A and B are shown apart, each in its own frame.
Chain A
Amino acid sequence: MGGVAQLRLMVVLGLRSLWTHKVKTLTVGSLLFFGTFLVVVGTALLDSIESSMARSITASLAGHIQLYDADAKDPLALFGSGFMGSDDIGEIPDFAPVKAAVSAVPNVAAVVPMGIGMATISTPVELDQVFLSLREAVRDKDQARIDALAKRTRAIATDLVTEYANRAKISTDTERIAKAQADLARVLSDAFWKELEDSPELSIQFLDSHIAPLASDGRLVYLRYLGTDLDAFTRDFDRFQIVEGEEVPSGHRGMLLSKTFYEKQLKHAVARSLDRIRDKRVQGTTIAGDALLRTIARELPKQYQRITYQLDPADAGTLEGQLRELLPQVEGGLPELVQAFLAVDDANFDARYAAFYELIAPHIKLYEARPGDVITLRAFTKGGYLKSVNVRVFGVFRFSGLETSDMAGAQNLVDMMTFRELYGQMTPDKRAELADIKAKVGIEDIDRASAEDALFGGGALVEEHQDDEAGFDEFRGVDLAGQVERLREEAAAPFDQTAVDNGLALNAAVLLKDPERLDESLAAIREALDAAHLRVQATDWQSASGMVGQFITVVRLVLYIAIFIIFLVALVIINNSMIIATMERVAEIGTMRAIGARRRFVLVMFLFETGVLALLSGGLGGAAGIALITALGHSGISAGGVDIMVFLFSGPFLYPSAGIDQLLLGVTAIIVASLASTLYPALIATRIQPVVAMQQKE
């Protein structure tokens, strides 16, 4: 056998018997069609998501390969393992040799040191700000300013008296309320302001400790930070963009806030609520028609203090005039006017939104920290002590394409020096300072904990809390003036690249010149690390990214199991229908055998027939799958604004693409599966004896 003629005979036999046994052909054909369709659509979607997710992960944090301690207790999970903060990924005590070893590997473009941590920043209550100003005014003996601030404090106190009178009616905590009312009465008395002149320190301390807590509570903001070589990071992660402010100058400490964090955590609460309503309304939602928006709108007027307490007396006057003009029917003073202004509904929203940003926003602190500000980060060191470090915010950044993903915006960036300090590692300066203290105090054997205490706790610069409970709950009494001094001191001592490299990192990102050669480079990097006797492991971005990286693997597994089940069902059905077809064709096969067809001819004929069917319906199913994916590739699949989806899609829409790869995979899989399921019936067919042709009776 062989040759074009026999092939043609097979084709004719195959096609014609497929045509003759239409029901079987249709059943098996549609199974093969959907099988291929599913494989093509499923794998194309997954491949697209995987590559978009790869873009998100590699471009935003991970690089292509991550390095970390070979003896780490927990695997590295850049985007969280689900046990936030409790992962112990060990440390790379000295980054420089790791950088040297890995940079030497061909295809490595950059090695960027990293360290992730979590800190809190305290966002002072509005009253804190007033009292801080008052403290400054008293220090500067600026009587005009003291008077203005005194007036403002009394106004606020009057306001609080009304509020506590209301609270007294509903609250059961009468003791606390009575005490608050007594404190407020004291502030409103002339005697108190006389005392201020005599002993300002005591009076202001009273305001700080007794009155400040009475206003709405100060917020504790959790901030995830990624300590890194900022120069390298901004250069090598090409999706990085500064959207406000500037990059941290080379060799300086500093922080870059993520745009997401900046907008969602640091923006003024009233502005944020208004923004939220605006964003929803842009999408077509109305306040009246949405329960969540109704709640936000209802709560808005209650937050008027967040505005009024922040106003300078002069600004307050201006604003009162402007609001009165806008809302002439409202009776009462500024508090009533602001409350009325914040009562938004679908009819007045757009005007109020614009007026808020035009009239009110310029007079309030729209962001709790802006580029140029100094913020205090507080974190637990590796040793378990709470540590405060001041750092200047230089800019706000985002990763282009991932603007709407909270996950991509989860990390704020900080320089390596600040990171090491928060982590609890001492810089050479600090070591020297500690030696100094040791000498002075005369302690021979000072342990690390008390050393830190002596360094940061004992000084007047920053208050230290050592008990965990107080640590993350209370953030009062941070001496902002002192912080600024301290910052100046540190900013005056710039560092160089050697200082960045020679020191601790928790992990490091490796960026490759050609990401396609990841596996090969991973092996080369491992070899280089081994050769340099470094206890550092290398892993690809997917496993380094934690749950997010596993997500795609899980989805792929589910898809493959689904495909496997469908194939199994198809296999059984194809097998059965082929056995039935074989039975129906016993006479025909017997005849072919009698007139000289070998067994192999019968086998090939059966396989060929299924093969042709698989090729046709698989080809059609695959083409339909590619058509669907191509259509989706044009229209885009919306992430629906869901954060994780935006991250997975590397943007608000996924534009999937399908190519010859998926088609080949689909068609090959379906051909292999259908041939496998035909093999048994075909073998049965080869056992048909030619003598059956003779035994035919009509």
Chain B
Amino acid sequence: MPAVVEVRGVEKDYPLGKLTVRALRGVDLTIDAGEFVSIAGPSGSGKTTLLNLIGCVDVPTQGSVSVDGQATSSLDDNGLTNLRLHKLGFIFQTFNLIGVLDVFQNVEFPLLLQGGMDKAARRARVEAIVDAVGLTPQLRQRPNELSGGQRQRVAIARALVTGPRIVLADEPTANLDSQTGANIIDLMKELNAKDGTTFIFSTHDAEVMRHANRVIRLADGLIVDDGRGAPRAEVPAPASPA
């Protein structure tokens, strides 16, 4: 399988007052197409930071990130936005649906941003994906009329509607009860199996982690286990002043 994500020597510093928080301290990672990967680690270990870099919503301080063969450092804001629109799908911990739009419109949104699809095709596509997440009866409801699990299904549908190479999900189950969370992960896994879309999600939850084909473990900004072989990280060091 070809690599869809390549992270090379990535460091990410956050300025925090006079201090610099070293969120990632040298990460190398390769993820292949069709993988169903979980990123695990304690709070503050850098999971979200890593996902943001892969998701092209942030840029590394050092090192490089390639998504579907495209080096992100060479892209401007519009380039990165295009990459997100066409290659990536996002599922958020807090669902982040657009409150003023109904289920259909939320799911349709990325297709409209992409453009170039006629109305009938777009409709068919949206209805199919909403059906796949089991929300056909709620098609014309607004997010505030839906339960948390239903909302996250809408978010999954929205992330998948453009047929992205990679879907990124930062703690997609954190705001759901464990049963619902398990169902969401099942759904994601089902869609991964069906279409071969790569899923990368972070979680604290050991139960959720069990569903992953591969678990990457982070600690203090370093990969302690990339889920492909023996742990190879050194002893974690604390965040240091700039």
Contact = CB atoms under 8 A, between A and B. Distances in A.
Interface of A: 1-3, 5-6, 9, 12-13, 16-17, 19-20, 587-588, 591-599, 601, 689-691, 693-694, 696-698
Contact of A689 (B57, B99, B175): B57
B100 A595 contact: no
A286 to B, nearest CB: 67
Interface stretch (B15-23, B89-97, B128-136): B89-97
Among B51, B78, B109, find the residue whose CB has the most chain A CB atoms closer than 10 A.
Answer: B109
Contact of B99 (A588, A693, A694): A588
Given A594-B90, A690-B57, A693-B57, A17 B100 contact: yes
B101 A13 contact: yes
Nearest to B148: A698
Nearest to A2: B115
Contacts of A17: 100
A694 B77 contact: no
Contacts of B51: 694
Interface of B: 48, 51-52, 55, 57-58, 77-78, 81-82, 84-86, 89-90, 92-94, 96, 98-101, 105, 109-110, 112-115, 119, 122, 158-159, 170, 175
A691 B52 contact: yes
A595 B158 contact: yes
Contacts of A696: 92-94, 96
Contact of B90 (A587, A595, A697): A595
B194 to A, nearest CB: 22
Contacts of A598: 77-78, 81
A160 B141 CA distance: 104
A599 B112 CA distance: 15
Contacts of B114: 596
B55 A594 contact: yes
Contacts of A690: 57, 81, 84
Contact of B175 (A12, A588, A599, A698): A698
Contacts of A6: 112, 115
Contacts of B158: 595
B57 A599 contact: no
B113 A3 contact: no
B110 A595 contact: yes
Contact of A691 (B58, B77, B98): B58
B110 A596 contact: yes
Nearest to A689: B57
A9 B175 contact: no
B52 A596 contact: no
Contacts of A3: 115
16 contacts: A1-B113, A2-B115, A5-B112, A5-B115, A16-B101, A20-B99, A591-B96, A593-B57, A594-B55, A595-B85, A596-B114, A691-B58, A693-B96, A694-B52, A694-B55, A696-B96
A697 to B, nearest CB: 7
Contacts of A591: 92, 96, 98
Contacts of A587: 94, 96
